[in-house]
Every structure is written in C-alpha cells, then in structure tokens.
Chains A and B, each alone.
Chain A
Amino acid sequence: MARAVTGQRKMINTLAAWSVGLLIFFPILWTILTSFKSEAQAIANPPVFFLFDWTLENYSAVQERSNYSKFLWNSIIIAGGSTLLGVLIAVPAAWSMAFVPGKRTKDILLWMLSTKMLPAVGVLYPIYLGFVKAGLLDTRVGLVIVMMLINLPIIVWMLYTYFREIPSEILEAARMDGATLRDEIIHVLTPMAIPGIASTLLLNFILAWNEAFWTLNLTAAKAAPLTAFIASYSSPEGLFFAKLSAASTMAIAPILILGWFSQKQLVRGLTFGAVK
C-alpha cells in the first residue's frame, strides 16, 4: 500500500515537473516552430501548431541578408573572453574572502552585489563617453571588459560560496607542507573547486551570451554579437515574425546545445552546498 502511494506520488511529481518544464520551454518551442512557417501562418489566428507547410525559406532569407558567422564569432569572443577574464580575477578575490575574511568582507560582498541593482541605463552615458575617449566603441575588447565587469559580482559570489564549502584545514595542511600562495590557489584550491568553477563559467557564459543592453548600445558594425543580429529583425511596422523567429533560433541554438550537453555540470554546480 505504501509503495502504491509512493508510486502515485512519484507519477504526480513527474507529471508536474514535466508540465512546468514544458511551460518554461514553450516560448522557445514556439519560436522554433514559427521559424518554419510562412509570415501569413506565423500570425494565423487560431494559431497552427504542427500542421502547417514547413518551410526553410526564412532561414535562407536570413542567411542571404545577414552575415551570421560574423555575429556568432563576436558572441563567442565576447562571452568567452569576458567569462575567462572574470574567473581569473574572481578566483583570488573569492579565495581571500572565503579563507582570510576581514571585518568588512560581508559588506564588500553586499556592495559588489548592489552594483547589479542599478538600472544599466543609469550609467550608459558615462560608460559610452569613456568608450569614445578610449577608442573602445564597437570593439570586442571593449565589450569583453564591460561584460566581465557586469558579471564579476556574480562570479565572485558564486566562487565564494563554493570555496566556503572547502575545509580550510586542507589549505592549512598545504601551507604546512610548504605550498606558496600561488601553489595553494592553483594546485590545491582550484582542483577541488572544479565543479563550482565549471558551473560558474557556464552560467556566466550564458549570461554574457544573452546580454542585450550593452551589446546593442556599445556596438555598431564590427563587434555586434548575436543579440544585435536578432534586433535587426524586429520591426514595429511590418510583420516579419517568421524571419525574426528564424534569426532568434539561429542565435539561441549554440547556447541551447551547450546547455543541453553541460546540464549535468550546471545542476551539480548550482546545487553545490545547497543541501547539508
């Protein structure tokens, strides 16, 4: 009897989880489906789900009009570069906060996080002017720096949380064995925190990939990533939903594939230390 109740509950939980998952995934699914419709089918009311004339014409139209590979390459450089740079800076920062905390460590952590609460547009003009003066406007280097700075608080916080789970006695033992600070961080701490660092890398890569405000405002023709590629298909005067959906699908496809293959690491990293 107990087993039957457990089985029933398990089935309900599974159904509920699938329902929530499908609900969350539905906008993406709908975008992908729309990308294979004609413009007329894309706006049909009642909407058509699967029974329509599937076409690839939107993808060929997008390919014909835009240089997708240029946008893709810029996205990879900006998201990858900013994430790697951020982790390089954040590992020593998180180490010091986790293992040699000062009186104000908690305040600094909160202050770092508070920078995420400021609306981005509030600092658009100072940053834009700085970029103009430094010749960084529409450059990948400029975007890498900005994206790194934007995500740095999250990277530091995530790494700090993971590092706190590592017993400080292990690091003390390494020190007693004669390890230098550099050795301690690179050869002792980092290998132990690999799952946390991996999930931090993945999450911040995804955040940087999807960021649209700065990438739209600080780029023009040369450094524009896939967010600008999508924006170029949006129009308030004209129904181009099918083409917009095709462009969106092409822009999110790499990150969806990456997320699919690394979901185990992502979940492991995000739940690291959640259950004690």
Chain B
Amino acid sequence: MTFNKALIAAGVASLLAASTAQADNLVIATVNNGDMIRMQGLTSDFTDKTGHTVEWVTLEENVLRQRVTTDITTKGGAFDIMTIGMYETPIWGKNGWLVPMDDLSEEYDVDDILPAMAGGLSYEGTLYAAPFYGESSMIMYRTDLMEAAGMEMPEAPTWTFIKDAAAAMTDRDNEINGVCLRGKAGWGEGGAFITAMSNSFGARWFDEGWNAQFDTEEWANTINFFKDMMDASGPSGYATNGFNENLSLFNQGKCGMWIDATVAASFVTNPKDSTVADSVGFALAPDNGLGKRSNWLWAWALGIPAGTQKEAAAKQFIEWATSTDYIELVAANEGWANVPPGARTSLYENPNYKDVPFAKMTLDSILSADPNDSTVKPSPYVGVQFAAIPEFAGIATEVSQEFSAAYAGQQTVAEALAKAQAITNDAMEAAGYK
C-alpha cells in the first residue's frame, strides 16, 4: 500500500468513525393514537436519512403526562423528545424547561404552521414545541337519521337547533340517542367539553382578577342546558361517558349526533370499525349567537427537554416528523386520509387532501378557535378548553367531578356550581393568584 493510499484509507476510516460517533439514539415519549403509531412505523425513513436511531416509549395519555412531568421537573433526562400538548407547552416554556424552537431550518418552513397552532404552542412569541397534528371539535351526525327526522343540519348550527334535532332523532325503542356528549369526570374529558361549550354561552372560568365565575348566570345556563338536553336525548349513564364510550356508541349506530374531537372523523368513517361509515355528515360545533363557538383547540406536539445531550439530533427528528415531506411519506404509504391533520397550512392547499371528506370542516373548526380570545367576556388566561396555568388541571378535575355528579343526579346543578366556585376560589387563593 502506498503512503497516499494509506492516508486516504485512514481519512475514510476516521470519517466513518466520526459519523458513527455522531449517530445518536433518541428516546421519545409519546401517546398511543393512530397518528403516533403510524409515525413509529415510518421511523426507518428518519434513520436512513440521518443515521440516528429511535426508541419509543408509548404510554396512555394521562400516564404520559405524569411521567414526562416528573422527568422534566427533576431534570431526569429519561427522554430526548416528549410528546406534549397545548396545555403544557406554554407553561413549560415559561419555566425554561423546553428548548426553544427558534432556529429551525429554512427548508422546514416554520411559517407554514397554522397560526392558531403556533400561537398555542408558544410563550411570548417563541415556539417551544412543533405541532405533529392538531385538532378541534365538531359535530359528526347521521345523515340518514337527520333526514328521517325531517331536518337539515346547517353548516354552523346553534345549540337550540342541536337540542331540537336531538329530540327529533331520539328513538328509545330502537336504542337511538339523539346526541352523545362527554359527561365523564376529568379535565381532559368532560371538563374539556363543558369548558368549550361554556364559551359559547358567554361563560368564563375567571374574571380579570382571577375570581371564579361559577356563580354567574352563564354557567348556570350552560350546565342546565347540557343536563336537560342529555337527560331527554342522551344515552343512559352519559355522566360516565368519555371519548371512547361515545365513539363506541356512534360506531354501533346508537347516536344521532356526536360533538367531539375532529380526529374522530377518521374513525367513524372507517367501514372496518363503523357500522354507519357511509352516512356520516360534519358541521361546525354549535354556538349561541354570542360570537363564540363551542369548539376547542388542541395539538399534540414534539418538544425537547432543556438539558438534553442530544439536542441537535432531537431537532433533526422533530423537523423530519413535522415536515411536509413526512406528510407526503404518510400519504404515499397509508393514503391522504391518514396524514396527520391540523398542523400545516399547505396541507389544506394540497389538491389531494381536499378530497378527504372531513378535511375542510377540520380546518374551519381549527380556524374558528382562538386560544388568546376564547371567551365572550374578557379573561386573563390563554386556552380554549383549559386555562394555561399550572393549577388548572387539578382544579378542573375536581370541578368536573362535581358536574358529573350533577349529571348523574347525585346533586343539583346549583349545588355542583356552588362547590365548583368554592373549589376554584380556594385553590386560586392558595396558589397566590388573589
């Protein structure tokens, strides 16, 4: 071997060694849902492109929330990337627990992220997590039952219409409930629904001085309307029904209408799982003529815990997973109906995606929710179905338990509201807001 050849061989060997040394193994904590599982199946594309490998830790949503919160508050370093929601991101960003996403590459096109999503995942204008997919809520209804009831669903109905339609569609003898809604306790279950609904009734959680507002007429109207409608036209035991219970009822043809997450659209229109897949229509979540609709806004996003040793590789992964190229990759492998929705503007300009039946309604729903201006009267918090303060999850869980007890008839609506008022004011006082 000549000296030159030996030099070149040594150079190549050291380059290979260097590239091997730079290849990281990323540990990613995520939730178990269709879009995330699909991403896990396509991870080899990322590894082929970058050399980095990925290990997934998939957990149920509430377990994940507890697990990543423990890890980030103790700087445990168990994860290089965390799947977090719109509730945690601004709070954790404010606390300096997340790496800011302010240096994403030009090709990534950060301006393509839907403004509502970018706004909800930012703190003081800095993005702290990139949205993997976004969702709002909307009405899914049975077109055949609506026709049989002699009614026609407007594109943007009112609550009064929904109540009337629910009564007209209800057929107890044939186990058909006019409307199925979440009544289950939990801030992310029934708590999220009733908060979004209360926005359209002019209610709010707090006034500008962080005083609880459950003693107002708006909240009484919200809960009374919900309970009256569900008692008359909802399924039995609705006080314990959440997303999955209602999905199950709808897919078995036992709900005339279901108002819930836009992500459910792909489930109820899938003939493999749904017995009513060919007769589902969509409409915007109802309003009450007060200028605010009752739809929420949520995103599952990917964030990097501050202090990770693998920040560069983690950012590479996030750019890959939330890019337009990834959307194309999913479309090529699984079809356009299965691409992660609600994160990028360009997706809704794509002619291929326009054929997906629920695409337009999903976008319209997302665009009609503004986390910075979600209530009729002014409020001091950011968030549509939540208030982005650390105390909210605990308070809202307790409050939703009181509401569920009222739905179940264990106490009156007035009693539940009085307890909610006391719980919230006590907690806010203890936390130093007042």
Interface residues of A (CB under 8 A from B): 38-40, 43-45, 65, 124-125, 128-129, 131-132, 137-138, 216-217, 220-222, 224, 228, 231-240
Contact = CB atoms under 8 A, between A and B. Distances in A.
B31 A235 contact: yes
B70 A128 contact: yes
A233 B75 contact: no
Contacts of B252: 43-45
Contacts of B189: 236
A235 B251 contact: no
B76 interface: yes
Given A40-B251, A235-B32, A128 B74 contact: yes
Contact of B27 (A39, A220, A236): A220
A28 to B, nearest CB: 20
B245 to A, nearest CB: 9
Contact of A217 (B67, B77, B263): B67
A89 to B, nearest CB: 28
Contacts of B273: 39-40, 239
Nearest to A233: B32
19 contacts: A45-B252, A65-B40, A128-B71, A129-B74, A131-B76, A132-B76, A137-B77, A217-B66, A217-B70, A220-B29, A221-B57, A231-B63, A232-B57, A235-B31, A236-B60, A236-B242, A236-B243, A237-B264, A238-B32
A146 B59 CA distance: 21
Contacts of B29: 220
Given A39-B273, A125-B70, A235 B77 contact: no
Interface in B69-99: 70-71, 74-79
Contacts of A138: 78
Contacts of B261: 237
B40 A239 contact: no
Interface residues of B, number: 46
A231 B33 CA distance: 12
B76 A137 contact: yes
Contacts of A221: 27, 55-57
Contact of B244 (A131, A132, A228, A237): A237
Nearest to A138: B78
Contacts of B58: 231-232
B27 A40 contact: no
A45 B63 CA distance: 29
A235 B244 CA distance: 9
Question: Counting chain B CB atoms within 10 Å of each CB, which of A125, A131, A235 scores highest?
Answer: A235
A186 B59 CA distance: 45
B267 A238 contact: yes
Given A128-B70, A220-B79, A239 B248 contact: yes
B33 A235 contact: yes
B350 interface: no
A221 B79 CA distance: 9
A239 B267 contact: yes
Contacts of A217: 66-67, 70
Given A40-B272, A45-B252, A128-B70, A236 B59 contact: no
Nearest to B36: A235
A224 B77 contact: no
B251 A43 contact: yes
Contacts of B254: 45
